[in-house]
Amino acid sequence: MNDLTETEAALAAMKRAAESARLRASRFGSRLAVWKDGAVVFVAPQSNGAEQGGADQPATAPESKSDSNENP
């Protein structure tokens, strides 16, 4: 059993949701709506423009270090 805290589990779920949204948008040729500089903009799912919350950070956070030898 994986001993994730509630915060870690929520972050992992958000990462999976973001990846799923990018994959789905790519599959259907759609653009992603993101919040940037106080406005909603549409970006291509494969571009680096998919940012979160206007924070100029990637939509998914880098993987945290894990104690197991699990592949991301």
Where are the chain's structural domains?
Answer: 1-56
pLDDT band at 51 (very low <50, low <70, confident <90, very high): very low
Structure tokens at 31: 């653009």
Once rounded to an integer, what is the mean pLDDT over residues 26-51?
Answer: 84
Contact in structure between 1 and 9 (CB atoms under 8 Å): no
Question: Does position 54 have pLDDT exceeding 50, yes or no?
Answer: no
Once rounded to an integer, what is the mean pLDDT over residues 41-63?
Answer: 61
Give the CA dihedral 66, 50, 23, 16, nearest 10 degrees. 30
What pTM value is reported for the model?
0.54
The residues near 31 (Cβ < 8 Å, ≥ 6 apart) are 25, 42, 43, 44, 45
Q: Could you tell me if residue 29 is left (phi over 0), alpha (psi between -120 and 50 degrees) or otherwise beta? A: left
Instruction: Give the mean pLDDT of the chain.
Output: 76
